[in-house]
Amino acid sequence: MKVNLKTLFTAFITTAVMGTFTVNHAIAADDTVKEKVSEAANDTKRAVKKGARKVENETCEMVNGKMKCIGTKIKNSAKNVGDKVEDAVD
């Protein structure tokens, strides 16, 4: 099970990074297009972080059980909310 989860996580990260790379290197002549590209890159970055945290939660739960991973889940949820707030401020 660990190999499949690790492979899935690696594929997700690779896809997200390639998408970010493509979006960041798009040539934009207009400021509004540049802002949209930047916002899309931030959204992709936030999604990758959220996905990584979800994988961390699931892995912890498989290895240690639900009760021992509550702290990790709360911490990761707080980080997800913090990322959302930070993105809203920008």
pLDDT digit string, tens, across residues 21-61: 555 555 545 568 888 888 888 889 999 999 999 999 999 98
Instruction: Return the closest-CA partner of residue 45 out of 23, 77, 60, 74.
Output: 23
CA 87 to chain centre: 13
Count Cβ neighbours within 10 Å for each residue of 15-29 and write b for 16 or more, e otherwise.
ebeeebeebeeeeee
Q: What is the pTM of this model?
A: 0.58
Number of domains in the chain: 1
Q: pLDDT tens for residues 11-29?
A: 666 776 666 555 555 554 5
Q: How far apart are CA 80 and CA 73, in angstroms?
A: 10
Token output for 2: 């660990």
Q: How far apart are CA 83 and CA 2, in angstroms?
A: 28
The whole domain housing 70 covers 2-89
Reported as a pLDDT band with limits 50, 70 and 90, residue 84 is confident
